Amino acid sequence: MRSSFAKLVFVLALVSATSGAATAQNSSSGSGVGPSLSYLAPMTFGPDAVLFAADSQEVYIYALDLSQHVTGGAPGTKGIPAIDEKIAAVLGTEAANISVTDLTVYPETRNAFISVMRGSEPVLLRVDGDGELIVISLDEVPYSRIRLPNRPNENTDMLLKGGGSMPIPNYPSNQATDYPLSLFGVQTVTDLAYTDGRLYAAGLSNEEFASKLRSITYPFTAVDEGTSVEIWHAPHDQFETRSPIYTFVPYDIDDEPHLIASYLCTPLVKFPVSSLRPGADVRGQTIAEFGSGNRPLDMIVYQKNGQDFLLMSNNRHGVMKIPTEGFGMAQELTGLVPDGSTAGVPFETIGTLEGVEQLDLLDRDHALVLIRHSEQAALNLEAVELP
């Protein structure tokens, strides 16, 4: 049975079609069936089989109703060796012509959903417990969407990091790490998380404090200007307002909701959710520096032996296991941490997980990872035991 969301979408689409009004595709927000996406990533699941997905080039956040696509397969997710080659074959191309942009697990069935760019065409796929690879027809998916304001553009000089390029979020570590200014839109949304009835989105704007955190109500009605966030960037010995958060998770510290975030060169920062007021300029508390010359890729929270941990994948520093028990009492970093050095809360590098590009929690004992065991190797989908 279709969800109430899908029924509402159908009614709105019918009213629009019969009235001759402009379709939702041409408005800053709205709903319909068959989203027209220029880019697909990042993604996260919300309530009622809704997949939140960013078109971070056109600067829309979509709520995709996947209620007709999350059932029917075997529970769980079976690993698939060389999944990039298998996806390419399903799409009628070569692995070199696709880019896997994100991975997320639907918690009810533990099936995996993978976003891919085939050239300029976004594709969504599902993997089930039998390892069956299914392409989701986006043309048949009901959706609602909302557009974020203040998109960065080619004239946003403050965003330059030299050479007219910046690192691409969610981009494989064995591919180019820079892209031209004309694709700055990909950084408008670098990560998403849904918790306590709100969707949080990190990324960039065209404002002086370019780094943004936005809290968006769902169902979508309106979007505010967001919160400008700055941090102490220890390897640079300065405050940073331009670099976006690359990955973050919601996490309660001493019963207070926080977002735990990481940036380029790997500072770990905590933000109280209560501080993220629209229009505010908020300084996060840097509680660790995990090494410069590195880009965090993905992050999850899990529990083992009665303790909570973060597990974070990186493009150069491998996968880090970070105990959370000291987050509440952690001293804020305020001085210089030389390039290559670390400081703050402790961490452990998991040598057996080198080459992880994306990860999500599969079940209480396992993570699901997209991993290359060498730079030239194929991309594998694997279920691995949580360390």
Category of 178 on φ-ψ map: left (φ > 0), alpha (ψ -120 to 50) or beta: beta
**What pLDDT is attached to residue 159?**
42
Closest CA to 355 of 309, 312, 300, 315: 315
- Walking along the chain (387 residues) 10 residues at a time, the average pLDDT comes out as 36 33 49 95 97 92 97 96 98 96 97 96 98 97 94 52 36 37 59 95 86 93 89 89 93 98 95 95 96 94 98 96 97 91 97 96 98 92 98
Distances from the Cα of 231 to the Cα of 92, 258, 288, 316, 318, angstroms = 45, 15, 12, 22, 23
Task: Look up residue 287 and give its two tokens.
Answer: 């509680």
Whether the CA torsion 255, 211, 313, 293 is positive or negative: it is: negative
Question: Which helix (H) or strand (E) is 84 found in, with range?
Answer: helix 83-90
pLDDT of 153 reads 65
- Determine if the pTM surpasses 0.95: no
Task: Please report the DSSP string for 174-230 in residue order.
Answer: TS-SEEEGGGGGGGS--EEEEETTEEEEEEE-SSSS-EEEEEEESS-------EEEE
Domain boundaries, the chain: 1-12+37-147
- Rounded Cα distance between 138 and 123, Å, is 8
Place of tokens 């529990």: 303
Supply the pLDDT for residue 228: 94
Distances from the Cα of 367 to the Cαs of 73, 78, 163, 192, 243, in angstroms? 20, 12, 37, 19, 28
Instruction: Determine the pLDDT at residue 92.
Output: 97
The whole-number pLDDT of residue 152 equals: 74
